Chains A and B, each alone.
Chain A
């Protein structure tokens, strides 16, 4: 009963601020204006009247899509760090958990860079800024995962997730993907357990969001593994166990050998069945698009409740989706290929 009252002591201001940021997410009219743009300069002009303001004002040189994307990400990082530096206690740990997924992506990116003998500076430039950790530069000294772990990763917050994938095999193409998925599985389950530990509304809201994330990964791993030499037992080890598919659905997915069988598994769950069916509107939406749409829906719903930490997670995810949308529109505009410009995912009315 009193948990709502106690929430505001440490996190009330940050929640208000996060909701202010959420209020600045682009609406339908903003997207309509953006899709009407002819050039990237027009895009910049339209973005000035939104919450983004003059973020591109000091750009020297020609405006390209990659520059826009970088600046958009930078703005998100600035806002996130502003919230993070003021967070305390459970909220600080929660926000750290949000950054771990980006850290995992960065680690895998750096590993694959080592594999292909790319210079470390180039790789570091490509890393997602939200997932930086101190030992990033030292990663090139490793050749096997054991060395990598002992030298670099044991000091990062990702250390406990490596328990399942330390072995003496050399890094190669296949292993890197397996490493990524194993890390992500451990991370999702850890995050889910942490949210349950916090309890209350946070646990309720995050449970839903993380369960969908887990199930979505299970589906994508299954579908992407058809035609590769990934064995079924290995595939089963990559499925996160914090979703609604656990345990029965995951068993069935592990046995699946083609997309039709995956569809059969999805038929047991009302929301997933809808995603696998043809929705009959004629628009050519891929499965990933439908997953993104559902994710957006769940994240917007998180804002319907007050006094929980889920708003911070959902804010980051919605902002990310918005960045993807703007970059998509910018690409269509700059390549003058306007056929699919409407294929962004609308977030708010």
Chain B
């Protein structure tokens, strides 16, 4: 199946269909003098800020978990394999697993923080300023979720690959473990960067009736 997914025809077909449909619909509107109806801005404005905010929450936790899971199985499989002939590595290398797990914890923290900031607001009775503040909050929460999600995804992948290398190197030569651990610490720092930026993004955003 992996091979099939890499075949050029399979890769290009969905993209081609989407782009083709997009261009065809745009042309239709233009040529039938209904160009004003092809209004992307109106479509985006029509989306409730709650969709954006909750998507942010969902992406934050789910992408982080994908990264953490990838890291854990990569490292875990190598620890198991290397631990057969060198049982001493088993306990020490659990540190790598902990680094991967931390990535998932960042994700859930951000998800909880963002979801606690989502408040209901009365769209009909809202002034222009309140509407703007709520929409901005929606977008900010989405962006925060994306930030922390993708940062943790790649952080988890990275820590997994490095941790796997650490386990196998440790099995051959015990002095190498501490050195490679330093690389892993740098790798897990990038997940932390994602959390910091996400907190900054979402801290300014206010939802509700009284902004």
| Closest 10 pairs (CB-CB, A-B) | A16-B81, A12-B77, A20-B85, A8-B74, A16-B82, A13-B81, A17-B81, A8-B77, A16-B78, A13-B77
Q: Could you list which residues of chain B lie within 8 angstroms of chain A, going by C-beta atoms?
A: 3, 70, 73-74, 76-86, 157, 160-161, 164-165, 167-168, 171-172
Asked if A14 lies at the interface with its beta carbon under 8 angstroms from chain B, I say yes
Contacts of B171 in A (CB 8 A): 16, 19-20, 23
**What 0/1 pattern do residues 8 to 29 of A give for CB contact below 8 A with B?**
1100111111111101100000
Q: Inside 8 A of A4's CB, which chain B residues have their CB?
A: 74, 161
Contact A17 B74 (CB under 8 A): no
Q: Which residues of B contact A21 (CB under 8 A)?
A: 85
Q: Check B85–A14 contact: CB distance below 8 A.
A: no
- Asked if A5 CB lies within 8 Å of chain B CBs, one says yes
Interface core residue of B74, B83, B171 (most chain A CB under 10 Å): B74
A-B contacts besides A4-B74, A8-B77, 7 pairs, CB < 8 Å: A9-B77, A12-B81, A17-B85, A19-B82, A19-B171, A20-B81, A24-B85
Bound-complex Cα distance A12 to B78 (A): 5
Chain A residue with the shortest CB-CB distance to B158? A5
CA gap between A18 and B82 in the complex, in Å: 8
The contact size tier of chain A is 20 to 34
A2 within 8 A of B: yes
Nearest B residue to A10, CB-CB: B77
> How far, in Å, is B97 (CB) from chain A's closest CB?
13
How distant is the Cα of A127 from the Cα of B168 in the complex, in angstroms?
Answer: 35
- The smallest C-beta distance from A327 to any residue of chain B, in angstroms, reads 24
Determine whether the beta carbon of A23 is less than 8 Å from that of B85.
Answer: yes
Among residues of B, the one whose C-beta sits closest to the C-beta of A51 is B85
Q: Which residues of A contact B84 (CB under 8 A)?
A: 16-17, 20
Question: What is the CB-to-nearest-CB distance from A137 to chain B, in angstroms, rounded to a whole number?
Answer: 36
Q: Known contacts A17-B81, A20-B86, A23-B172: does B74 contact A5 (CB below 8 Å)?
A: yes
Chain A interface residues (CB < 8 Å from chain B)? 2, 4-5, 8-9, 12-21, 23-24, 197, 306-307
- A16: which B residues are within 8 A, CB to CB? 77-84, 167-168, 171
Kindly provide the distance from the CB of B164 to the nearest chain A CB, expressed in whole angstroms.
Answer: 7
- Determine whether the beta carbon of A12 is less than 8 Å from that of B74: yes
Task: Output the least CB separation between A231 and chain B (Å).
Answer: 41
- Identity of the chain B residue whose Cβ is nearest the Cβ of A89 in the assembled complex: B2
Q: Return the contact of B161 from the options A5, A9, A17, A197 (Cβ within 8 A).
A: A5
- The answer to whether A2 touches B157, judged by C-beta atoms less than 8 angstroms apart, is yes
| Distance of A24 from chain B, by nearest CB (Å) | 7
Contact of B157 among A5, A14, A20, A307 (CB under 8 A): A5
> What are 13 A-B pairs with beta-carbon distances under 8 A?
A5-B160, A5-B161, A8-B77, A8-B160, A12-B74, A12-B77, A12-B78, A12-B164, A13-B80, A15-B77, A16-B84, A16-B168, A19-B82
Query: In whole angstroms, how far apart are the Cα atoms of A197 and B7 in the complex?
Result: 12
Question: How far is it, in angstroms, between the C-alpha of A21 and the C-alpha of B172 when the chains are bound?
Answer: 10
> B81 contacts which of A9, A15, A24, A197 (Cβ < 8 Å)?
A15
Q: Which residue of B lies closest to A19 (CB)?
A: B168
Tell me, rounded to whole Å, the shortest Cβ–Cβ distance linking A331 to chain B: 29
Bound complex: CA of A14 vs CA of B80, how far in Å?
A: 9
Task: Please tell me which one of the listed residues B157, B160, B172 contacts residue A19 in the complex, with CB atoms under 8 A apart.
Answer: B172
Chain A residues contacting B3 (CB-CB under 8 Å) are 197
